[in-house]
C-alpha cells in the first residue's frame, strides 16, 4: 500500500544551520504517525515542510507515491494536507459556524444577491461536529467560549469536513489539562477511523503511545529513532524521548547531598 | 457544549426535559445580550426620553428631522469606520479626508472644466486612492493603523490648506454655484425631500442605505465573515486562506467612499469649502462606532450599532439647543456618553459570555 505522505532522508538548512537532517516519516491512511521530540528538536521544521510553508533541501517528499515540492499552504490544502496549529486554530469572538467555514464559505444566489448559505452552514456545522461526537448546544455561541480542547476538536472536524486526507496536528494537547487532552485524543482517533492519515506532533510520549501506530523520535534535528507500535513499549519510548542517560545524570544532580552548607552563614532557626 | 461521554461542565445536570426548557430560555436572553448594539439602543432610549422631558420642542416632527439630519452627517462616516474597527483598524484621516474630497471636487471643476460632475468623478477616484494608500501603507509596513493614519491625517490637513492657498489664493474655494451640473449634483448630494409637511434631508436616505448595505455585507456575505476574522485573529484568518491584505485595503476604500459622499454633501450644500474644516470629526465617527458596540480591539460590532451611536449624538447636539442650554456643553456630553456607553457595552459583553 502506498503511503499518503512519505518523507525519506529529508534535510532542511536555514543558512548554515542544519535544522533537520536525514529524517524519514511515513503516513498511511487510517494510521497515526507520531513525531516526538523536545523543544528545538526540529518538529516545527518538519511540519512546516509537510504543510507547505517551507521546502526541503535534500531527500524526497512524496504524496501518494508521487514526488513533490509544495509551494504554499494553499497548495498543501489542495493536495489534501490540512494543518491544525495549536494557537492559530480559530477566531475567538466569531460564532462556531462562522469559524467552521471561514475561508471556504458556501454561497447561494447570483450577482449582487450572492450571499452566505447560512442555513447550510449552521446545519453542516452541527451535523459534522455531531459526527465527530461533539454535541454542541448552540452553534451561534462565540467559539472563544469553548474550552481549549473543544476548539481543537472543532478545528479537526473542520479539516475532516473539507476533505483532508492527511491531518497534521501541532502539539494539540500541549496547553491542555489531562481531561481535555483525553477529549482531543479521542477526536484524533475519530479522524483516524474516518480513514485519514494523521501526523501528531507532541512532546508527550504517554499521549503519543495511546493513539500512535508509528513513532519518529527527533533529537537536535536528527532522527533518534523510528518504531512501529509493535516494536516498542511505552517505557522504552519514554526513556528514549527523555534522553535516557541524560535523565540518569539529571537524577544524580538533583539527588540530596548529605550536609547542606548554607552560604553566608545564615542558618534557619 | 458537552460531549457524549465526557463529563459536562455543570456538576449535576438537571433532567433532560427541564434542562432543555432552561436552555431555550437562556439562549434567547443570551442572544439579546450578545448583540453588539444592545448598549447603544438602551442609551439612545435614555437620551431620547431625557430630551423629550427636558426640551419641549424636541418631539416636534420638524425637530426630529433636524436631529436625523445631524445624525446622518456623522452616521454616513460612522458606518464604514465601524466596519474598519470591526476589521481591527482605525482611520484618523477620515475627518479631513471628507474636506479633501470636497476640495478636490470643487477645485478640479473650477480650474479644469465648467462641469461639476467631472470634478465629482475625479474626486471619487482620488479619494478612493487615499483609501488604497492608507491600506497599502498599513499592510506593507505592518505599523499600527493609529500611526499610519495619524501621519496621513496631518499630511492631508497640510495638503488641504497648502493646495487651496496655492490655487485659490485664500483659505476657501471659489463658488461653483453657477457651473453646469451644479443643480443636478446638489439634487443627489444636498437636496431635501418633503414627506407630509416635514423636510427630509437626502443625507438621511444615503445614511439608511449605507447602514443597510453595510449590514448585508457584514452578516450575509463572505467579505463580512472575513472582516470579523481579520479583526478577531488575523493570523488564524490567514492560515485558513482569508485574503487579509485585500480585506483591509477594501475597508479603507469603504471609508474613502463614504468620505466622498460626505465631501460632496458639504460642497453642494454650500458651494464653497473652508480648507481648514474637518479636523476632529474623525473622533466623532470613532465615538459613534464605539458607542454602537464596536470593540476597540476589533472582531466585534455592527453597522446598525454605529448608526444608533450617530443618532445619540444627533439627539444630544440638537437637544441641547432645543433645551436652550449653552451649546458649549455639547462636547462634555460627548465624552461622558462615550465613557458610559463603553462601560455599558463591556458589562453587557461580560454578562453575555458568563451565561454562555
For B295-346, the pLDDT digits (tens) are 888 888 999 999 999 999 899 889 988 988 888 888 888 888 888 888 877 7
Sequence ranges of the domains in chain A: 5-91+163-254
Other C-beta atoms lying within 10 Å of the C-beta of residue B268: 26
C-beta separation of B313 from B47 below 8 A: no
Statement: the pTM of the whole predicted model exceeds 0.90:
no
CATH topology of domain A5-91+163-254: Rossmann fold (3.40.50)
CB contact under 8 A, B229 and A88: no
B28–chain A nearest CA distance, Å: 11
Chain A CB contacts of B295 under 8 Å are 93
Interface probe, candidates B233, B302, B349, B352, chain A, greatest A C-beta count within 10 A: B233
Considering only the beta carbons, identify the residue of B221, B299, B300 that sits closest to A115. Answer: B221
Interface probe, candidates B217, B222, B296, B350, chain A, greatest A C-beta count within 10 A: B222
On whether residue B75 sits in a domain, the answer given is yes
For B163-208, the pLDDT digits (tens) are 999 988 888 888 888 888 888 999 999 988 888 778 889 999 999 9
Residue B241 contacts A, CB cutoff 8 Å: yes
Residues B69, B193: Cα–Cα separation, whole Å: 12
CB contact under 8 A, A94 and B3: no
User: What was the pLDDT predicted at B5?
Assistant: 43
Structure confidence at residue B13 as a pLDDT band (50, 70, 90):
very low
Structure confidence at residue B15 as a pLDDT band (50, 70, 90):
very low
Residue B223's closest CA among A102, A224, A69, A119? Answer: A102
C-beta separation of A146 from A91 below 8 A: no
User: What was the pLDDT predicted at B78?
Assistant: 96
ipTM: 0.79
User: What was the pLDDT predicted at B9?
Assistant: 41
Stretch 13-72 of chain B: residues touching chain A, C-beta under 8 Å: 23, 27, 31, 34
Q: How many residues does chain A have?
A: 269
Q: How far apart are the first and last CA of chain B?
A: 9
Chain B CB contacts of A138 under 8 Å are 27, 356
On whether residue B29 sits in a domain, the answer given is no
Provide the CA B280 distance to its chain's centre, in angstroms.
Answer: 14
A134–chain B nearest CA distance, Å: 5
Residues A202, A212: Cα–Cα separation, whole Å: 11
For B246-269, the pLDDT digits (tens) are 999 999 999 999 999 999 999 999
Residue B354 contacts A, CB cutoff 8 Å: no
For B266-292, the pLDDT digits (tens) are 999 988 888 888 898 999 999 999 999
Q: In terms of CA atoms, which chain A residue is nearest residue B234?
A: A91
Structure confidence at residue B4 as a pLDDT band (50, 70, 90):
very low
Q: In terms of CA atoms, which chain A residue is nearest residue B349?
A: A93
C-beta separation of A157 from A132 below 8 A: yes
Provide the CA B282 distance to its chain's centre, in angstroms.
Answer: 9
Considering only the beta carbons, identify the residue of B2, B3, B242 that sits closest to A102. Answer: B242
Half-sphere exposure of A105 (CA within 13 A, CB side): 25
Residue B23 has pLDDT above 60, yes or no: no
On whether residue B11 sits in a domain, the answer given is no
User: What was the pLDDT predicted at B265?
Assistant: 95
For B199-215, the pLDDT digits (tens) are 889 999 999 999 999 99
On whether residue B64 sits in a domain, the answer given is yes
Task: Give the single-character DSSP code of B8.
Answer: P
User: What was the pLDDT predicted at B345?
Assistant: 76
CB contact under 8 A, A88 and B232: no
For B57-107, the pLDDT digits (tens) are 888 888 999 999 999 999 999 999 999 999 999 999 999 999 999 999 999
User: What was the pLDDT predicted at A239?
Assistant: 78
Residue A96's closest CA among A146, A62, A42? Answer: A146
Q: Which domain holds residue B192?
A: 47-345
A83–chain B nearest CA distance, Å: 9
Stretch 196-225 of chain B: residues touching chain A, C-beta under 8 Å: 216, 220-222, 224-225
Considering only the beta carbons, identify the residue of B2, B31, B236 that sits closest to A135. Answer: B2
Higher model confidence: residue B244 or residue A245?
A: B244
- The residue ranges of chain A whose pLDDT is under 70 are 1, 87-89, 242-248, 257-269
CB contact under 8 A, A104 and B240: yes
User: What was the pLDDT predicted at B136?
Assistant: 96
Residues B34, B17: Cα–Cα separation, whole Å: 25
Residues A41, B230: Cα–Cα separation, whole Å: 32
B289–chain A nearest CA distance, Å: 18
Question: At B3, is the secondary structure helix, strand, or coil?
Answer: strand
Provide the CA A90 distance to its chain's centre, in angstroms.
Answer: 15
Considering only the beta carbons, identify the residue of A103, A135, A138 that sits closest to B242. Answer: A103
Question: At A226, is the secondary structure helix, strand, or coil?
Answer: strand
Chain B CB contacts of A98 under 8 Å are 225, 228-229
What domain count does chain B have?
A: 1
Chain B CB contacts of A101 under 8 Å are 225
CB contact under 8 A, B229 and A179: no
C-beta separation of B9 from B314 below 8 A: no
On whether residue B38 sits in a domain, the answer given is no
Amino acid at each position: 500500500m502506498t503511503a499518503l505522505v512519505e518523507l525519506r532522508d529529508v534535510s532542511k538548512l536555514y543558512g548554515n544551520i542544519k535544522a533537520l537532517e536525514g529524517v524519514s516519516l511515513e503516513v498511511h491512511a487510517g494510521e497515526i504517525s507520531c513525531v516526538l521530540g523536545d523543544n528545538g528538536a526540529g518538529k516545527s521544521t518538519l511540519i512546516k515542510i509537510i504543510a507547505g510553508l517551507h521546502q526541503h533541501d535534500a531527500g524526497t517528499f512524496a504524496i501518494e507515491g508521487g514526488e513533490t515540492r509544495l509551494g504554499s499552504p494553499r497548495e498543501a490544502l489542495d493536495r489534501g494536507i490540512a494543518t491544525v496549529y495549536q494557537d492559530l486554530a480559530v477566531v475567538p469572538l466569531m460564532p462556531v459556524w462562522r469559524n467552521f467555514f471561514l475561508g471556504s464559505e458556501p454561497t447561494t444566489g447570483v450577482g449582487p444577491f450572492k450571499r452566505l448559505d447560512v442555513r447550510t452552514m449552521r446545519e453542516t456545522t452541527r451535523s459534522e461536529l455531531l459526527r465527530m461526537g461533539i454535541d454542541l448546544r448552540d452553534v451561534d455561541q462565540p467559539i472563544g467560549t469553548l474550552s481549549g480542547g473543544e476548539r481543537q476538536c472543532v478545528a479537526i472536524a473542520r479539516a475532516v469536513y473539507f476533505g483532508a486526507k492527511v491531518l497534521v496536528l501541532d502539539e494539540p494537547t500541549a496547553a491542555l489539562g489531562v481531561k481535555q487532552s483525553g477529549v482531543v485524543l479521542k477526536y484524533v482517533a475519530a479522524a483516524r477511523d474516518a480513514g485519514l492519515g494523521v501526523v501528531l506532533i507532541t512532546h508527550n510520549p504517554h499521549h503519543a503511545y495511546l493513539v500512535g501506530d508509528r513513532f519518529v523520535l527527533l533529537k537536535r534535528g536528527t532522527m533518534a529513532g523510528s518504531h512501529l507500535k509493535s516494536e516498542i513499549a511505552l517505557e522504552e519510548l519514554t526513556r528514549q524521548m527523555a534522553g535516557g542517560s541524560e535523565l540518569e545524570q539529571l537524577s544524580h544532580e538533583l539527588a540530596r547531598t548529605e550536609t547542606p552548607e548554607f552560604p553566608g552563614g545564615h542558618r534557619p532557626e | 457544549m458537552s460531549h457524549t461521554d465526557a463529563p459536562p461542565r455543570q456538576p449535576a445536570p438537571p433532567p433532560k426535559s427541564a434542562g432543555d426548557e432552561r436552555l431555550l430560555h437562556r439562549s434567547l436572553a443570551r442572544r439579546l445580550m450578545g448583540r453588539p448594539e444592545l448598549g447603544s439602543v438602551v442609551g439612545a432610549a435614555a437620551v431620547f426620553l431625557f430630551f423629550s422631558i427636558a426640551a419641549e420642542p424636541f418631539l416636534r416632527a420638524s425637530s426630529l428631522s433636524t436631529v436625523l439630519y445631524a445624525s446622518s452627517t456623522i452616521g454616513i462616516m460612522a458606518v464604514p469606520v465601524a466596519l474598519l474597527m470591526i476589521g481591527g483598524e482605525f482611520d484618523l484621516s477620515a475627518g479631513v479626508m471628507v474636506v479633501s474630497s470636497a476640495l478636490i471636487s470643487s477645485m478640479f471643476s473650477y480650474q479644469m472644466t465648467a462641469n461639476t460632475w467631472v470634478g465629482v468623478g475625479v474626486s471619487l477616484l482620488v479619494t478612493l486612492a487615499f483609501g488604497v494608500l492608507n491600506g497599502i501603507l498599513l499592510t506593507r509596513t505592518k505599523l499600527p493603523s493609529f500611526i499610519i493614519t495619524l501621519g496621513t491625517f496631518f499630511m492631508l490637513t497640510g495638503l488641504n490648506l497648502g493646495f487651496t492657498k496655492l490655487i485659490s489664493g485664500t483659505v476657501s474655494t471659489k463658488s461653483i454655484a453657477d457651473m453646469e451640473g451644479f443643480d443636478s449634483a446638489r439634487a443627489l448630494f444636498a437636496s431635501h425631500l418633503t414627506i407630509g409637511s416635514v423636510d427630509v434631508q437626502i443625507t438621511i436616505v444615503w445614511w439608511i442605505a449605507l447602514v443597510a448595505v453595510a449590514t448585508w455585507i457584514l452578516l450575509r456575505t463572505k467579505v463580512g465573515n472575513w472582516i470579523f476574522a481579520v479583526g478577531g485573529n488575523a493570523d488564524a484568518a490567514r492560515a485558513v486562506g482569508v485574503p487579509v491584505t485585500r480585506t483591509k485595503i477594501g475597508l479603507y476604500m469603504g471609508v474613502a467612499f463614504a468620505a466622498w459622499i460626505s465631501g460632496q454633501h458639504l460642497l453642494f450644500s454650500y458651494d464653497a469649502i473652508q480648507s481648514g474644516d474637518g479636523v476632529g470629526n474623525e473622533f466623532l465617527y470613532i465615538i459613534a462606532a464605539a458607542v454602537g458596540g464596536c470593540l476597540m480591539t476589533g472582531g466585534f460590532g455592527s453597522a446598525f450599532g454605529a448608526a444608533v451611536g450617530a443618532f445619540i449624538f444627533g439627539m444630544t447636539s440638537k437637544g441641547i439647543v432645543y433645551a436652550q442650554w449653552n451649546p458649549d456643553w455639547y462636547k462634555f456630553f460627548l465624552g461622558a456618553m462615550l465613557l458610559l456607553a463603553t462601560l455599558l457595552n463591556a458589562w453587557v459583553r461580560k454578562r453575555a459570555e458568563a451565561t454562555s
